[in-house]
Amino acid sequence: MDPFEAALLGLVQGLTEFFPVSSSGHLVMAEAFLGRVEEGVLFEVSVHVGTLVAILAFYRRRILGLLAGLARREAAAWRDAGLLALATLPAALVGLLAKDFIESLFGAPRVVGYALLVTGGLLLTIRHTLPRAHASAPTPWQALAIGCAQALAITPGISRSGATVAVALALGVAPLAATEFSFLMAVAAISGAAVLALPDAAAADSATLVACAIGGLTAAVAGLGALWAFVRLLESRRFHAFAYYCLAAGTGFLAYLALRG
């Protein structure tokens, strides 16, 4: 992968990680349009680490406050940390037990097309559930359900933000609280994926590592702007509009694959 392609894919990741359109699905589609074979999980994890940097920057006050509360042994901080840990558990188990299967999905572009249709269906529910969502935080069982949605979103084409926010709203969690919980969950999930990818990074050649670094940096810069726009969009209550994009993108990509043969 040359530097231009790495930057382009990093830009795709950064712009699509926070909007509910599946960044991993768009990476697979971009690679298909570029005529490349699937680049492997190492590059995928690298650009996700870039968007992790964006999350840490955007929610730095919340994260530092949570860490300070844990240090002071505040009950509220430990409850929040426990909910995040519980929500992270399903994705962690899937990542550990089905690593080879997950990697195979990134080499099956057709999966992305169908998964985007699923994402579109999930987002359509938001129009009906959002007006009734008022809780300031999820309960433990709700956190586990949101975590299961995150585990499902390991599939390229299933939007992590879309699935987790849609489930949180359906369970009654208020929009901004659902968004914050969703992205704080991503901190642990992406960090865990990065740790699992360390052996691949150690075995990679210098050209691959340079491509991963370029992609990750581009994703971080683009992701910070996209995250700001995402929060503003959710406040405007037009979040469900992305359903139509996902349905169109999934259908169009499946048609492209069929025509390409």
Asked if residues 113 and 257 have their Cβ atoms less than 8 Å apart, the reply is yes
Average pLDDT in the 175-197 region?
A: 82
CA gap 186, 146 in Å, rounded:
12
Tokens of 55: 């999350």
Asked if residues 102 and 94 have their Cβ atoms less than 8 Å apart, the reply is yes
Nearest to 243 by CA among 156, 130, 113, 121: 121
CA gap 257, 96 in Å, rounded:
31
Tokens of 3: 């530097």
Give the domain range for residue 158: 3-260
Instruction: Output the pLDDT for position 6.
Output: 84
Instruction: Output the pLDDT for position 145.
Output: 97
Question: What share of the chain in percent tops pLDDT 70?
Answer: 94
Whether pLDDT at 38 is above 60: no
CA gap 158, 257 in Å, rounded:
18
CA gap 251, 255 in Å, rounded:
6
Q: How many domains does the chain have?
A: 1
pLDDT digits (tens, 9 = 90+) for 49-58: 888 899 899 9
Asked if residues 151 and 22 have their Cβ atoms less than 8 Å apart, the reply is no
Instruction: Output the pLDDT for position 4.
Output: 84
When mean pLDDT is compared across 61-65, 97-101, 130-134, 246-250, the lowest value belongs to: 97-101
Which residues contact residue 87 at a Cβ distance below 8 angstroms, ignoring those fewer than 6 apart?
138, 143, 144, 146, 147, 150, 181, 185
Instruction: Output the pLDDT for position 36.
Output: 61
Whether pLDDT at 95 is above 90: no
Tokens of 41: 């999980």
Query: What is residue 130's DSSP assignment?
Result: G
Mean pLDDT of all residues in the chain? 86
Instruction: Output the pLDDT for position 71.
Output: 94
What is the DSSP annotation of 183-227? HHHHHHHHHHHHHHHHHHHHHS-HHHHHHHHHHHHHHHHHHHHHH
Q: Global pTM? A: 0.83
Question: Which pLDDT band holds residue 113 (cuts at 50, 70, 90)?
Answer: very high
Of residues 142 and 208, more confidence is placed in 142
pLDDT digits (tens, 9 = 90+) for 157-166: 999 889 999 9
Question: Which pLDDT band holds residue 37 (cuts at 50, 70, 90)?
Answer: low
